[in-house]
Amino acid sequence: MHRLLAEIACTLLLALMIASIYARQVSITSLMVSEIDVSLVRFVTRSRLFNVVFKVSEVWRVVEVYEKLFNETLSFKLLPALNLTLAPTPEGVRVYVRGWSGLVVPFVNISVSRIRGCELLEYGEGVAELGYVDLRMDYDSSDIYVIFACIERLYTFSLLAPENLVRHWYEWEGGLVRNESRVERVFLLVPHYRAPIEANFTVVEGALDVEEEPGTVAYLLGVEGGWVLVPRLPVPYNPPISKPRELFKYLICDLEGVGYALVVEVGG
């Protein structure tokens, strides 16, 4: 009888301990939730950042919502899923692969296309086993470099181009390219292809309706005086505003069936 009562008492004590721990956890969680910036909740709701897969227009809408309503109360960044940087070496170039926390990401398949105008000058590929890979390729700051990174089925990319070649002419609401100069030819940049691909286009009310290939991230436009680069996505989007990070998440931008991983960071 005494043994039975002792077992019952131990069971009740254990139940009380579990209840107290649960109550403490609930109180801590409630406190954390209460401290979350109301602006962050509103931003996530209005921009639908709770989703995982986004269309091109939906990615642009996230940026639009931030710029119109929350640029004074929150900080916001939209970046490739991996921090991909390129540096010249005596033998060629070195591509560094890091997470945005600074951690090394091992065993990433890397390819780099070096482009001038609409022509592929060089192409290199390798595996960044310990956070970097060396490629035998010349470096010229006036050229365009397309870095493509792949880990299993996760794809991401980075476009490196001189500022004087970049034009922000993409009209995301209609999926058109506004041409402020006469355009003679259009090529597509698709990271998982080695070279730019020439595309057909039609002129619609002063803008270009381009027939994209799956995975198109930018356009090369042949205009008077040379070639310009028009990004299709607002990446990287990295204003100088910095606030304590409240949200960090990955999303997939679906480009006609090819998904590229991006990362969103919001501070409040």
**What is the structure's pLDDT at 18?**
36
Q: Is the pLDDT of residue 24 over 70?
A: no
Categorize the per-residue pLDDT at 231 as very low, low, confident or very high, splitting at 50, 70 and 90: very high
Q: Is the N-terminal amide bond of 231 cis, ω within 30° of 0?
A: no
Residue range 79-132, pLDDT digits in tens: 999 999 999 999 999 999 999 988 898 999 999 999 999 999 999 999 999 999
Percent of the chain past pLDDT 90, that is, above it, reads 74
Q: Is the pLDDT of residue 17 over 70?
A: no
Categorize the per-residue pLDDT at 36 as very low, low, confident or very high, splitting at 50, 70 and 90: low
Please, are residues 118 and 227 in contact by the beta-carbon 8 Å criterion?
Answer: yes
**What is the structure's pLDDT at 27?**
36
Please, are residues 104 and 97 in contact by the beta-carbon 8 Å criterion?
Answer: yes
Residue range 37-93, pLDDT digits in tens: 688 889 999 999 999 999 999 999 999 999 999 999 999 999 999 999 999 999 999
3-state helix/strand/coil string of the chain:
CHHHHHHHHHHHHHHHHHHHHHHHHHHHHHHHHHHCCHHHHHHHHHHCCCCCEECHHHHHHHHHHHHHHHCCCCEEEEEECCEEEEEEECCEEEEEEECCCCCECCCEEEEEEEEECCEEEEEEEEEECCCEEEECCCCCCCCEEEEEEEECCEEEEEEECCHHHECCCEECCCCEEECCCCCCEEEEECCCCCCCEEECEEEECCEEEECCCCCCCEEEEEECCEEEEEECCCCCECCCCCCCEEEEEEEEEEECCEEEEEEEEEEC
Q: Which residues pair with 149 in a beta bridge?
A: 110, 156
- Per DSSP bridges, beta strands 258-267 and 92-98 are unpaired
pTM value?
0.84
